[in-house]
Structure 1
């Protein structure tokens, strides 16, 4: 996409600012993305339990990111940390599909089936680190 800043402004050596954030977890912005309701948007850090430890998200991550570690949280304060080599979108959709089917062999779908009436909208997912 071409720059919206006039060329003569760029030539003067003025700083050019991007509208894309540098770090944190964000929604992808793709119209109709099914992950939209689950991704924690504009999240810069994750509190890691009772030890008051905060993990800073140091990359720009969204559901299109791949090779990453992610966190799923639910209303009862349970947490699941997972990793995937696929896009987070694919992995979220697998969790959502398994939950919809009440598939009890996977930890996430079992928990949401047993304790949250298979309500997939309650899954709050944060990509936390690219696993390079």
Structure 2
């Protein structure tokens, strides 16, 4: 009887410093997408609790499966997630802001308080979730991580721009 191996594949050599900056972990903007205007970032903090956290991964605008943080000029923060390239999701936020859409909390806040100006939006990739070698439901994994960071950074309204959290991702599939 043949049984699949439970041993993980040999890890590929990890690039410790993709941009030769001397920093091994952090958020490295590509500077080519329309949202990029910050320099490399190695830490982020909650504007409510002032607790600072280190970025423990190498994240770029081209990374998938990212938990990200948005910030407006009045220092309100929003935590989001994407399983697509981060720059695609940030571009959607910026387009929603430019259009003045009231259907999303970030664009509604920018329309009300910042004249629908997407150039005022700041963003940082804060967590990179890797797919387990045996496979996993990555959407569920990043949904859990997003909810945990909304709680840690206290970005739920009225202290931040998140207006709801996903608790379904913590339930086993047999419950729903």
- State the TM-score, normalized to the length of structure 1: 0.77
Task: With a CA cutoff of 8 Å and minimum separation of 6, indicate the structure with the bigger relative contact order.
Answer: 1
2:34 match:
34
Give the corresponding residue for 1:103. 101
TM-score relative to the length of structure 2: 0.59
More strand by share: 1
Unaligned runs of 5+ in 1: 1-16
Shift of 1:92: 0.6
SS in structure 2 of the partner of residue 66 of structure 1: coil
C-alpha contact (below 8 Å) 1:35/1:63 kept by paired residues:
no
Gaps of 5+ in 2: 1-16, 131-176
Residue 104 of structure 1: CA displacement? Answer: 0.6
RMSD: 1.7
**SS of 1:121's equivalent?**
helix
Tell me which stretches of 4 or more aligned residues in structure 1 moved more than 3 Å.
none
For the residue of structure 1 that corresponds to 2:84, the secondary structure is strand
Deviation at 1:51, TM superposition (A): 2.5
Shift of residue 47, structure 1, vs aligned partner: 1.2
